[in-house]
């Protein structure tokens, strides 16, 4: 794709977002299924993942959105960590789901509104656990899961990131 082709593709989206900013706000949602043992399944829809533009930025939906991939990593990490914590606590978890949602305003990504941030404005993580354990112990498992989930902690306490050109 050439630069002008991308501009032509995105121009109507940018104009629509200028006219109606709410159209640019999209909530991405992924879910992980708690698997057997210490595992969590997240359906990426692809074995080999090729990332591309989200439809809200001109993509055709055939490629993975990196925002979805970030949420998939969060759901997977939280699911695996929850399984490990429940196992350490000797609490049986028959199954369940981890749902990660994130709100993006694509006006920031497309440069439509300079005051609009690029990236997620909010991320929500929800656990649905199939277990006979009482709510108090499940809440403790969630608290410990939050503490030791690498992706969640990285999002909450972002490290410095350096981009270079080699």
Per-residue pLDDT for 46 more than 60?
no
Q: Could you give the maximum distance between any two Cα atoms of the chain, in Å?
A: 59
- pLDDT tens-digit readout, 97-151: 999 999 999 999 999 999 999 999 999 999 999 999 999 999 999 999 999 999 9
Q: Could you give the CA distance from residue 44 to residue 27 in angstroms, rounded to a whole number? A: 17
Nearest to 55 by CA among 122, 121, 110, 125: 110
Q: Could you give the CA distance from residue 78 to residue 98 in angstroms, rounded to a whole number? A: 7
Calculate ∠ Cα 146-72-16, nearest 5°: 115
User: Whole-model pTM?
Assistant: 0.82
CB 97 within 8 A of CB 128: yes
Phi, psi for 71 (deg, rounded to 5): -65, -35
**Hey, what CATH topology would domain 3-156 get?**
GMP Synthetase; Chain A, domain 3 (3.30.300)
């Amino acid at each position: 794709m050439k630069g002008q082709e991308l501009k032509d593709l995105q121009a109507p989206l940018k104009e629509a977002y200028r006219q109606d900013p709410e159209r640019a706000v999209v909530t991405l949602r992924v879910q992980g299924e708690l698997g057997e043992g210490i595992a969590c399944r997240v359906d990426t829809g692809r074995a080999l993942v090729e990332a591309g533009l989200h439809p809200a930025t001109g993509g055709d939906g055939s490629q993975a959105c990196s925002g979805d991939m970030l949420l998939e990593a969060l759901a997977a990490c939280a699911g695996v960590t929850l399984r490990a914590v429940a196992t350490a606590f000797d609490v049986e978890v028959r199954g369940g789901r981890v749902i990660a949602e994130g709100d993006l305003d694509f006006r920031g990504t497309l440069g439509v509104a300079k005051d609009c941030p690029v990236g997620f404005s909010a991320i929500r993580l929800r656990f649905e656990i199939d277990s006979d354990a009482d709510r108090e112990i499940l809440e403790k498992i969630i608290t410990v899961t939050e503490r030791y989930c690498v992706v969640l902690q990285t999002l909450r306490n972002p490290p410095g990131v350096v981009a270079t050109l080699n």
